[in-house]
Amino acid sequence: MADLLGQVHSAAGDYLASLAARPVQDRDALALLAELGGPLPEKGSEPGEVIERLLRVGAAAGTASSGPRFFHFVTGGVTPAALAADWAAALFDQNAFSKISSPFAHEVETVALRWLRELFGLPESWGGALVGSATFANFTSLGCATHWWGFQLGVDTAEDGLAELPRMPVLSSGYVHASARKALQMLGHGRNSVTVCARDGVGRVDLGVMRHHLNRLKGAPSVIIANAGEVNAGDFDPIGELAELAAEFGAWLHVDGAFGLFAALSPRTAHLVEGIGRADSIAADAHKWLNVPYESGFALVRDQARLGSAFGMPGAAYLPGPGDPASGYALYGPESSRRARSLPIWATLAAYGKQGHREMVERHLDLAQHLAARVDAAPELERLADVPLSIVCFRAAPAGVADLDDFNRRLGAALLEDGRVYAGTTLYDGRIALRPAIVNWRTTEADIDLFVDVVRELSQKVSHEVGTRAS
């Protein structure tokens, strides 16, 4: 077994060293994926050969999304300490189910959750759950909100579900993320349960409209979702004002802070999440801006006991019940058996501290401003939004192009096909745009400059294609 791990270890050095220069995606290498197919082997092969094949194909055909020039979605890298600790999590193969299945994993998770609360300046008394992603953190948070809401109406939804209840009112701005809707869909409310209160095509919240809807509920309990960091331009709902509304109308305030919660780390951006301490629940990702490996997200919940009420299991005789001192995090979140995903979170916080993570966030803020300046300086590029955080929303707008949406769709496709750098397109205020997001510790100014150079080069190429087609 140690020999197999040695194979991974020796491949790791080369792979990690290659990240600085390799393209994000080598399309030609995708042909190698055929080597992993074929029928399920009857007898199996020599494990050393199997692992050699996996490493060879993965190193060539894998997406270098942990490298410095992957700006698509919101994709973090992996700090050295987090990667090593993730290997350790696989090595120890703990079941972070309960204090009995692994006192070690249980304790590290307790410390990791406490450190996360400290990192974001949240009260020690809050509860939390480490989950696989921000989608699951939204699910966990809105699961708690659902239980709270049912309780207001005299129903224990964990016992009896939603059948006796009206539809749960959910209000948000146009910034509400698809995964919050997916969480509502999984919880049985349906993804259309959200009433969007937006005042413009960007999706900025209309507080007057939200107040109007809350008034119409005549005191019935409801849930407000505030968005800390939306994905198109990194903008924020006014959390403090939404907290005021939630307090006035007795609503549950949930904040989706998948990456935007990290604004709390820097005095330069902390004002963006002002009021977050008044939330009832917060969802965030660790595999984005904390730079730990997938799959890692977390929910932080003001009323710790609510997690147990919403996610406790009806103790099978061989399992610990909720009040049992041997119970654990399986009873405070949606999963039962689970890996020790606390280990990389613990390790990165232990290794780099509050200061290291603040410095990383601030480096990304600077890089985003640098990117915005390069966009502003390029005559054929047009920035579409302010840059409050680390996403820059812009499009190509070369002179004489009639259909800019079509042009930018082509540009986005050309960028992915080229593979040197990666960024995705979106629809921002009715316009197709690029929206590179910078949250990887490896990214340097040179990477940003290369990104702009590649975008400009491909924009020229698309101009020629479009021009040729038109003539």
Among 97, 120, 148, 259, binds ligand PLP (CB under 6 A): 259
Structure tokens at 162: 């939603």
Q: Are 383 and 376 in contact (CB under 8 A)?
A: yes
Segment 177-206, which members bind ligand PLP (CB under 6 A)?
A: 177, 179
Stretch near ligand PLP under the rule CB under 6 A, chosen from 104-112, 127-135, 200-208, 412-420:
127-135
Task: Supply the minimum distance, in Å, between the C-beta of residue 311 and ligand PLP.
Answer: 18
Measured from the CB atom, the residue of 79 and 98 that comes closer to ligand PLP is: 79
Among 109, 235, 256, 447, binds ligand PLP (CB under 6 A): 256
Measured from the CB atom, the residue of 251 and 258 that comes closer to ligand PLP is: 258
Measured from the CB atom, the residue of 86 and 285 that comes closer to ligand PLP is: 285
Does 340 engage in binding with ligand PLP (CB under 6 A)? no
Number of other CB atoms surrounding residue 301 within 10 Å: 27
Segment 261-290, which members bind ligand PLP (CB under 6 A)?
A: 285
Task: Supply the minimum distance, in Å, between the C-beta of residue 177 and ligand PLP.
Answer: 4
Among 134, 158, 276, 343, binds ligand PLP (CB under 6 A): 134
Task: Supply the minimum distance, in Å, between the C-beta of residue 407 and ligand PLP.
Answer: 26
Does 388 engage in binding with ligand PLP (CB under 6 A)? no
Distance, CA of 391 to CA of 201 (rounded, Å)? 18
With vertex at residue 284, the alpha carbon angle to CA 304 and CA 25, rounded to the nearest 5 degrees, is 150
Task: Supply the minimum distance, in Å, between the C-beta of residue 193 and ligand PLP.
Answer: 17
Burial class for 32, CB neighbours closer than 10 Å (0-12, 13-18, 19+): middle
SS (H, E, C) the chain: CHHHHHHHHHHHHHHHHHCCCCCCCCHHHHHHHHHHCCCCCCCCCCHHHHHHHHHHHHHHHCCCCCCCCECCCCCCCCCHHHHHHHHHHHHHCCCCCCCCCCHHHHHHHHHHHHHHHHHCCCCCCCEEEEECCHHHHHHHHHHHHHHHHHHHCCCCHHHHCCCCCCCCCEEECCCCCHHHHHHHHHCCCCHHHEEECECCCCCCECHHHHHHHHHHCCCCCCEEEEEECCCCCCCECCHHHHHHHHHHHCCEEEEECCCHHHHHHCCCCHHHHCCHHHCCEEEEECCCCCCCCCCCEEEEECCHHHHHHHHCCCCCCCCCCCCCCCCCHHHHCCCCCCCCCHHHHHHHHHHHHHHHHHHHHHHHHHHHHHHHHHHHHCCCEEECCCCCCCECCEEECCCCCCCHHHHHHHHHHHHHHHCCCECCEEEECCEEEECCECCCCCCCHHHHHHHHHHHHHHHHHHHHHHHHHHC
Task: Supply the minimum distance, in Å, between the C-beta of residue 197 and ligand PLP.
Answer: 18
Does 348 engage in binding with ligand PLP (CB under 6 A)? no
Does 169 engage in binding with ligand PLP (CB under 6 A)? no
Measured from the CB atom, the residue of 283 and 458 that comes closer to ligand PLP is: 283
Stretch near ligand PLP under the rule CB under 6 A, chosen from 95-103, 132-140, 208-216, 382-390:
132-140
Stretch near ligand PLP under the rule CB under 6 A, chosen from 141-149, 252-260, 332-340, 421-429:
252-260
Does 443 engage in binding with ligand PLP (CB under 6 A)? no
Does 140 engage in binding with ligand PLP (CB under 6 A)? no
Measured from the CB atom, the residue of 133 and 408 that comes closer to ligand PLP is: 133
Task: Supply the minimum distance, in Å, between the C-beta of residue 75 and ligand PLP.
Answer: 9
Number of residues in contact with ligand PLP under rule CB under 6 A:
13
Measured from the CB atom, the residue of 396 and 433 that comes closer to ligand PLP is: 433
Task: Supply the minimum distance, in Å, between the C-beta of residue 354 and ligand PLP.
Answer: 23
Binding map of ligand PLP across residues 202-241, x = CB under 6 A, - = no contact: ---------------------------x-x----------
Structure tokens at 170: 């959910």
Measured from the CB atom, the residue of 309 and 390 that comes closer to ligand PLP is: 390
Measured from the CB atom, the residue of 74 and 246 that comes closer to ligand PLP is: 74
Segment 27-56, which members bind ligand PLP (CB under 6 A)?
A: none
Measured from the CB atom, the residue of 357 and 410 that comes closer to ligand PLP is: 357
Binding map of ligand PLP across residues 297-316, x = CB under 6 A, - = no contact: x-------------------
Ramachandran quadrant class, 429 (left: phi over 0; alpha: psi -120 to 50; beta: rest): left
With vertex at residue 141, the alpha carbon angle to CA 262 and CA 148, rounded to the nearest 5 degrees, is 140
Distance, CA of 157 to CA of 129 (rounded, Å)? 20
Measured from the CB atom, the residue of 381 and 439 that comes closer to ligand PLP is: 439
Measured from the CB atom, the residue of 231 and 368 that comes closer to ligand PLP is: 231
Does 454 engage in binding with ligand PLP (CB under 6 A)? no
Residues in contact with ligand PLP by CB under 6 A are: 74, 133-135, 177, 179, 229, 231, 256, 258-259, 285, 297
